[in-house]
Amino acid sequence: MDSLIGTYECKVDAKGRLMMPAALKKQMSSILQDGFVLRRSVFQKCLELYPIKEWQVLMQKVNKLNKFKKKNNDFIRRFTAGVKMVEADVNGRLLIPKDLTVFANISKNIVVASAINIVEIWDKDLYEQAINDAALDFADLAEEVMGQDDDYGIS
């Protein structure tokens, strides 16, 4: 799958359903019927939506961990906590389970943001706060993460 593109403001209905933005749905048209895995983010109070094939690739890596090491078992348990299979209904809506809604403080207004091969689902206020907080040191972060490799230079 190619990387996904876009950040979209959306609403969750009273039943906790998210209507996938049309532009994002179009990008995921070939995988929409396969289903998704929805999970808690490790680093932020948001949710991560994995196309099932992307999730399976990730689980192959996790499955290689030695399960006779306590830290690996602890990691697997916490990493998969709250993981849910979700499918788009005929109208292109995804039901966000209640426990994940609570975890991410999702109310009515949300942001659906592409993150390369997955989609993040944020409460709108928390998303704006995270972006604003990160903006202060983004230049330093960009230099540290991407500035080490001359392949990314402008020619």
Is there a domain that residue 69 lies in?
yes
Is there a domain that residue 44 lies in?
yes
Q: What is the pLDDT of residues 50-79, one digit of tens each?
A: 999 999 999 999 999 999 999 999 999 999
Domain extent at residue 12: 7-125
Q: What is the SS3 assignment for 106? A: coil
Is there a domain that residue 17 lies in?
yes
Is there a domain that residue 117 lies in?
yes
Half-sphere exposure of 62 toward its Cβ, with a 13 Å CA cutoff?
A: 15
Domain count for the chain, please give it: 1
Model confidence, pTM: 0.86
Is there a domain that residue 14 lies in?
yes
Is there a domain that residue 68 lies in?
yes
Is there a domain that residue 2 lies in?
no
pLDDT (average), residues 27-56: 92
In CATH, what number is assigned to the domain containing residue 121?
3.40.1550.20
What is the model's pLDDT at position 113? 94
